[in-house]
Amino acid sequence: MTGPGCAGAGGLEIGILARQFTNRRATCGQAKHLKVWRSNPGIVRGSERTAQTQLRAYISLESGSIQHANIDGQLGFIVSVVLRNYGVTPGYHFRTWMSPPAILDAEVVPFAAPAVSIADGASSILGPGSQAHLNWRAVFPPDALPEIRDGKKAIFCWGGANYTDAFGHQRHFTFRCATSGGEDTADQGGWGLKPHKIGYDAN
């Protein structure tokens, strides 16, 4: 596993071959391979890019739901989002954000810019396969629920994460959801999050 500032797999392989060649333990095939690598910097760069693509952290949405809830004696809901690192190295300087859910006409596009940057506040490390949970509680405005069920209005939820991958590159993931229609969870107690038509964003 490599960490921030460490050489990529391509550079590591070159270093191993160079040491073998210097110590006169390289086979003819290894020496020829080393000569090819040294004379073709494009191969080295391509190998490093491939290694980073295969080894970097990938943060994405694993699951999400909106569940009916009693919020201080009022009819409300809880938005629950689970993010997961699908990569094989940690996400460093990991920060999440989520904007307050909005109940608006179903055709609007209300999504604002991310609420945090990579330099804001405390951060953590999200290891490979680890999850991060985001939650928000809100109250339904009067008469909003029937309009959500008939598709006139939608519950808009958006948020995401900023992080640095193991190769020092700043990364982000943003989800954008618009949920409407009848309740569709197994217990009919809420909805699964539905991606908005403009989709998610990541780098």
| 63-117 pLDDT, tens digit each | 999 999 999 999 999 999 999 999 999 999 999 999 999 999 999 999 987 656 5
For the cut 90, the answer to whether the pLDDT of residue 29 exceeds it is no
DSSP state of 24: T
What architecture does CATH give domain 59-202?
Sandwich (2.60)
Residue 74 β-bridge partners? 71
Average pLDDT over residues 161-186: 95
- Residue 36 confidence (pLDDT): 55
Which conformational region is residue 152 in: left (phi greater than 0), alpha (psi within -120 to 50 degrees), or beta?
alpha
pTM of full prediction above 0.85: no
For the chain, how big is the Rg over CA atoms in Å?
A: 24
pLDDT band at 142 (very low <50, low <70, confident <90, very high): very high
Judged by average pLDDT, the poorest of 75-84, 116-125, 185-194 is 116-125
> Where does CATH 2.60.40 sit in the chain?
59-202
Would you state the torsion angle of the CA atoms of residues 96, 99, 105, 106, taken in this order, to the nearest 10 degrees?
Answer: 0
- Residue 28 confidence (pLDDT): 56
Structure tokens at 154: 């939608």
